[in-house]
Amino acid sequence: SLFLKIQRSEVYIVVLYPKYTDSPWCLEELEEILQFMKLHGRRVIPVFYAVDPSEFENQKLPSSTAGRIRRWRAALSEVANLSGFDSQVIRYVKSKPVPVN
């Protein structure tokens, strides 16, 4: 299962995009990933694709229990404050020629 693969991973690259919060599944995965980061010292690298990290602070979330929504908000806030990459920066770096020695 996907959660077993999450448990076995050492590094997580989380791609956050404008409709990321529409998916309860994505939010559950994010919560699990951040739990492994805290408990086991795993690395989380967020990539913000066509979205600013600050947009996740007050994003509308799918209907769920109050406790789950509270956990999802905490996870989104936490990942938004991690050092990560902006997709615009990655696209710019990718377009630059790299000299080969």
Q: Could you tell me if 22 and 87 are in contact, meaning their C-beta atoms sit under 8 angstroms apart?
A: no
Of 10, 28, 29, 57, the catalytic one is: 29
Helix (H, G, I), strand (E, B) or coil at 8: helix
Provide the token pair at 92.
Answer: 């710019």
Q: Is 42 buried (19+), middle (13-18) or exposed (0-12) by CB count in 10 A?
A: middle
32 given a catalytic annotation: no
The residues annotated as belonging to the active site are 29
